[in-house]
Amino acid sequence: MLKIKKSMLIVFAFILSFTALQLDPPSVSALPPGTPSKSEAQSQLNSLTVKSEGPMTGYSRDEFPHWIGQGNGCDTRQIVLQRDADYYSGDCPVTSGKWYSYFDGVIVYSPSEIDIDHVVPMAEAWRSGASSWTTEQRRAFANDLNGPQLIAVTASVNRSKGDQDPSTWQPPRTGARCAYAKWWINTKYRWDLHLQSSEKTALQTMLNGCVY
């Protein structure tokens, strides 16, 4: 009797540890807040307006004042750099640390190799609704720490992504595509941006690959 109980306990402990492993992200690194569940992302995707992209007339990065001061000498970039680090030293600016770049799975130790990616790029936002916003709204979008719109990734993967949407660019690490789709959908949903049909098709395919 005692023996059975003990082995059951072991099994139970094993299941518990396995569950904990599954719930934790692959790395200890922090990820952006507000990642929706698969079903939430699906209903958000369903509610987005499908529309062809608007022109880039008048666009410049200056229309989206980004990396604004966040207090204590830190700007938005530094805040995300700290949030997404496994560890770091130096306050603002951060001088070194360890970052796991979610899109490409690369680990780097220097902040100079890290970019803060706008999951929905500013140029993409411009042609999907932000051209009619006020500068204040664009400032809030470009410094959005409340949702999954900013993430620390390698400068090289950020450059190869550029302004593209999920119909032409997806993270090279296939394991990152589910979360990427959720972040993209959630950002467009929260900021009331529209999307093109090719983009919607790509997002649906990516979302179908999500387990939860």
Among the listed residues 37, 43, 46, 60, the single contact to another protein using CB under 8 A: 60
Q: Which is nearer to another protein, 53 or 113 (CB)?
A: 53
Instruction: State in angstroms the smallest separation of the CB of 139 from another protein.
Output: 17
- Per-residue mark of binding to another protein, 96-125 (x: CB under 8 A): ---------------------------x--
What letter represents residue 79's amino acid?
I
Q: For residue 67, state whether it binds another protein (rule: CB under 8 A).
A: no
- Per-residue mark of binding to another protein, 155-174 (x: CB under 8 A): ---xxxxxxx---xx-----
Specify whether the CB–CB gap between 116 and 75 falls below 8 A: no
Kindly give the residue spans of alpha helices, DSSP state H, lying in the chain.
2-23, 38-47, 76-83, 122-127, 135-142, 155-161, 177-190, 197-208
Q: For residue 24, state whether it binds another protein (rule: CB under 8 A).
A: no
Q: Which is nearer to another protein, 162 or 209 (CB)?
A: 162
In sequence order, the 6+-apart residues with CB closer than 8 A to the CB of 97 are 81, 85, 86, 87, 88, 89, 109, 111
Hey, CA dihedral for 50, 167, 102, 84, is it positive or negative?
negative
- List the structure tokens of 101: 């770049």
Among the listed residues 3, 21, 55, 211, the single contact to another protein using CB under 8 A: 55
- Which residues are at the interface with another protein (CB under 8 A)? 53, 55-63, 123, 127, 158-164, 168-169
